[in-house]
Chains A and B, each alone.
Chain A
Amino acid sequence: MSKTRASGRTVGGLRSLSLQAPAVTLLLLWMLVPLGMTVWFSLQRYNLLMPGMEGFAGLEDYEYLFTDPALWRAMGNTLLLVGSVLVITVGGGVLLAVLFQQEFPGRGIARVLAISPFFVMPTVSALVWKNMMMHPSNGVLSWVAGVFGLPAVDWFSSLPLTSIVIIVAWQWLPFALLILLTAMQSLDDDQVEAARMDGAGPIAVFFYITLPHLKRAISVVIMIEMIFLLTIFAEIYVTTSGGPGLATTNLAFLIYIQALLDFDVGLASAGGVVAIVLANIVAIFLVRLVAKNLEN
Chain B
Amino acid sequence: MTTLKTKQALPADGQPASASANGATRARHTPLVPSAGARRLWLTLLGWGIALIIFFPILWMVLTGFKTEAEAIADPSLIFSPTLESYIAVQARADYFKFAMNSVVVAFGSTLLALAIAIPSAYAMAFLPTKRTKGTLLWMLSTKMLPPVGVLVPIYLLFRDFGLLDTRTGLIIVYTLMNLPIVVWMLYTFFKDLPRDILEAGRMDGASTFQEVIYLLLPLTLPGIASTGLLSVILSWNEAFWSLNLTSSSAAPLTAYIASFSSPEGLFWAKLSAASTMAIAPILVFGWLTQKQMVRGLTFGAVK
> Is A282 among interface residues, defined by CB-CB distance under 8 A?
yes
B178 → A minimal CB distance (Å): 8
User: Which of A50-58, A63-71, A80-88, A271-279 faces chain B?
Assistant: A271-279
Query: A62 interface residue, CB < 8 Å from B?
Result: no
* Residue pair B7, A195 in contact (C-beta under 8 Å): yes
Chain A residues near B51 (CB-CB < 8 A)? 109-111, 113-114
Q: Is the interface of B mostly helix, strand, loop or mixed?
A: helix
A/B interface sample: 13 pairs, CB < 8 A? A16-B130, A24-B121, A24-B140, A99-B47, A104-B44, A116-B55, A126-B262, A128-B61, A128-B276, A179-B298, A198-B25, A260-B245, A265-B157
Main secondary structure on chain A at its contact with chain B? helix
Per-position contact with A for B119-149: 1 when CB-CB < 8 Å, else 0? 0110111001110011011101111111111
Nearest A residue to B64 via CB reads A132
**Contact in complex: B117, A23 (CB < 8 Å):** yes
Measured CA separation A117–B287 after assembly (Å): 10
Cα A272 to Cα B256 with chains together (Å) = 23
A-B contact count (CB 8 A): 357
Q: Is there contact, CB below 8 Å, between A113 and B46?
A: no
Among A124, A259, A265, A269, the most chain B Cβ lie within 10 Å of the Cβ of A124
Known: A104-B47, A280-B145. A195 touches B6 (CB 8 A): yes
In the complex the two chains form, is A204's CB within 8 Å of B54's CB?
A: no
The answer to whether B58 touches A120, judged by C-beta atoms less than 8 angstroms apart, is yes
Query: Roughly how many angstroms separate A239 CA and B262 CA in the complex, as a whole number?
Result: 7
Q: How many residues of B contact A (CB 8 A)?
A: 114
Q: How close is B2's CB to chain A, nearest CB, in angstroms?
A: 6
CB distance from A91 to the nearest CB of B (A): 14
Give the residue of B14, B50, B283 whose beta carbon is less than 8 angstroms from that of A99: B50
Residue of A128, A174, A195, A286 near B10 (CB, 8 A) is A195
A130 in contact with B138 (CB, 8 Å):
no
B291 touches A217 (CB 8 A): no
Across-interface contacts of B145 in A (CB, < 8 A): 227, 279-280, 282-283, 286-287
A26 touches B180 (CB 8 A): yes
User: Does A220 contact B303, Cβ atoms closer than 8 Å?
Assistant: yes
CA distance A119 to B291 in the complex (A): 10
Judge whether B75 and A173 touch: CB under 8 Å: no
Contact: A15 with B124, CB < 8 Å?
A: yes
State which residues 172-199 of A face B: CB under 8 Å.
Answer: 173-175, 178-179, 182-183, 186, 188, 190-191, 194-195, 197-199
Q: Are B11 and A127 in contact, with the CB atoms below 8 A? A: no
CB distance from A81 to the nearest CB of B (A): 14
Find out whether the CB atom of B262 lies under 8 angstroms from the CB atom of A116.
no
Please state if B241 and A231 are interface contacts (CB–CB under 8 Å). Answer: yes
A157 at the interface (CB under 8 A from B): no
